[in-house]
Chains A and B, each alone.
Chain A
Amino acid sequence: MSKHFFSDTTVLLGRSLRHITRSMDTIVTTAIMPIAMMLMFVYVFGGAIHTGSDSYVNYLLPGILLITIASGIAYTAFRLFTDMQGGIFERFQSMPIARSSVLWAHVLTSLVANLISLVVVVLVALVMGFRSGAGVTAWLSVAGILILFTLALTWIAVIPGLTAKSVDGASAFSYPLIFLPFLSSAFVPTDTMPTVLRVFAENQPVTSIVNALRNLLAEQPVGTDIWIALAWCVGILAVSYAFAMNTYRRKIS
C-alpha cells in the first residue's frame, strides 16, 4: 500500500462527492422508486396483506431500505463506467498516486450517496406512520447492517462498472438485486408461498437481513437472524471485493 493511500483517497473522494452534490437528482431518483413502491404497497395492497404486524409500513420498511440500496448502487457502476470511458481514469493511472485509491473513492462515495437516500426514505416512512421505539444501540445496529449491505453491493457494482461495454450494461446488473426482496419476507410472510419458492425465500440473504432489521426496529429479540444476516453481508463483501480488486488489477496492468 502506498504511503499516499489515505490522502489520495480523500482527495478523490472529495472529487466524487462534488459530482454527487452537483447532481442531487441521482440521489432523489434513487429514493423515488422505493418511495413509490412503499406508497403503493402500504396504501394499495397493504389493506389486503396480513402480516401479523399492527402497522404494514413498519413491516415493509426494512425491505424498502434494501431496495433503495440495490437501486442506488446502479449509480456507482454508472459513475465508475463514466470515469473509465473518459480519459480521466487513465490520467489518474499514469500519475504517482496510490493505485487502489481511485476505486476506494468511488466505493466511499457510494456509501455516502446511499446513506443520504436511506435517510430520505426513512423520513418519508415517518410521514406515512412508521414508528419505532428502538433505542440507540438498536438503531446503530440497523445502521451497521445497512452500511455492510451497501458496501457488499457496492463492491459487486464495481465489477460491471469496470468491465461494462455500455452505460446500460453498467447498470443492468442491479435489476435482479432490486427484485430479490420480492422473493423474501420483505413484503409478505413466507408461509403462504409454494414450497420451492418458500425454501428459496427463507434461505436467501434478504430474508435474514430483513428479519434482523425488522426485529431490531420493533424491539424484538433478533435471535439467530442477525448472525445469519451478518454472515451473508460479510461473505458477499469478501467475495465481491476479491473479484472487483482482481478485475481492477487486470484492468490497470
Chain B
Amino acid sequence: MTTQHAPAIQVHGLDKSYKDLHVLRGVDFTVARGSIFALLGSNGAGKTTAVKILSTLLKADAGTARVNGFDVATQAAEVRESISLTGQFAAVDEVLSGRENLALVARLRHLENPGRIADDLLARFSLTDAAARRVATYSGGMRRRLDIAMSLIGNPPIIFLDEPTTGLDPQARIEVWQAVKELAENGTTVLLTTQYLDEAEQLADRIAILHQGRIIVNGTLDELKQLLPPAKVEYVEKQPTLEDVFLALVGADGKDGDTGQHPIPARK
C-alpha cells in the first residue's frame, strides 16, 4: 500500500507560526528508509513542532510533508498507520501496569493476542520483573524503555522520538541508545530530536541542525566535521571523563534502572 522506494520522510518548505512567533521558516529535509536521522537544535529551535506536524498532531501553515509516501495533511489516517510517536514526556499510563500499557496499545492497534505481544516486548526491554507493577513506581529509565516498547507495537516502519533521553541518568541514556540502534538494525526508520551533541554523534546516520526555524546544515557526521578546518594534532593526557568514572563506579549494566545491587552502596 505504500510506495516502497520513496524516502521514509520528505519535508519541503515547512512553515509554522504561533501567533507572532515564527517557529518553522521553510524547513526541508529527507530521511532515507532504515536510517537514523537526528534533528539537532537548542531549546525552542522548533524540533518538537516539526515532529508534531510529521505525526499529524499539528497542521503546518505552509509547505508539504510526506511520511511513508503519504501526505500528512490529506492522508493523516494512513500516516498514523505508518508511524509511532514517542513524545517528549513519557506517554505511559501511570495507573496501569507495564504489561497493561503494552496490551492497551496492542488492542488499539487492533492486533491479535495483545497479551503475548506485551510479554514479548517486556522481555525484549528487560521489564519482565516489573511487568505487573504500576508504572508510577518505575524509574525514569524504565518508563522510557516502556514508552519506546509501546511505540514498537504493530511494527510501524517509521518512529519519531522527541528528545528520548532528556532528563535521564547516564545509564538509562545508554539503554535508550541501545534500543534505538537495535530498531535501526531491524530496518525501522528513526527520526529523533535531541539537544545533546553526543547523542546525535552516537546514533545518527545523518544530522540536521535546526536553528531558529531553519535547517542550517544537513549531512553525515563526517560531512559536518569537514565544515571546520582540519583538526590539528595536539598531545593531551587522556583523563577519564566524569561519565567514565560514574559508570565505572555504579556499573554500566544496571538494566533494571533500580538501585541496591551495585558494588558501591548508594548514599545512606
Contacts of A87 in B (CB 8 A): 87-92, 147
Number of B interface residues in the complex (CB < 8 A): 31
- Contacting chain B: which of A3-11, A189-197, A201-209? A3-11
Q: Is B85 an interface residue (CB 8 A)?
A: yes
CA distance A92 to B104 in the complex (A): 11
B95 & A90 in contact (Cβ 8 Å cutoff): no
Contacts of A91 in B (CB 8 A): 85, 87, 91, 105, 150
Minimum CB–CB distance for B88 against chain A, Å: 7
Known pairs A8-B108, A87-B89; A94 contacts B57 (CB<8 A): yes
Considering only residues 1-60 of chain A, those with a C-beta below 8 Å from chain B are 4, 7-8, 11-12, 15, 18-19, 22-23
Q: Is B121 an interface residue (CB 8 A)?
A: no
Contacts of B80 in A (CB 8 A): 94-96
Contact with B along A218-253 (1 / 0, CB 8 A): 000000000000000000000000000000000011
Q: Is A88 an interface residue (CB 8 A)?
A: yes
CA distance A18 to B88 in the complex (A): 25
Contact with A along B80-100 (1 / 0, CB 8 A): 110111011111111110001
A94 & B56 in contact (Cβ 8 Å cutoff): yes
Contact with A along B104-124 (1 / 0, CB 8 A): 110111100000000000000
Considering only residues 49-93 of chain A, those with a C-beta below 8 Å from chain B are 86-88, 90-93
Minimum CB–CB distance for B57 against chain A, Å: 6
Given contacts A90-B52, A92-B108, A93-B56, 10 further A-B contacts (CB under 8 A): A11-B108, A15-B104, A18-B95, A87-B87, A87-B92, A88-B91, A93-B57, A94-B57, A94-B85, A96-B109
Question: Residues of B at under 8 Å CB distance from A?
Answer: 52, 55-57, 59, 77, 80-81, 83-85, 87-96, 100, 104-105, 107-110, 134, 147, 150
Question: Residues of A at under 8 Å CB distance from B?
Answer: 4, 7-8, 11-12, 15, 18-19, 22-23, 86-88, 90-97, 252-253
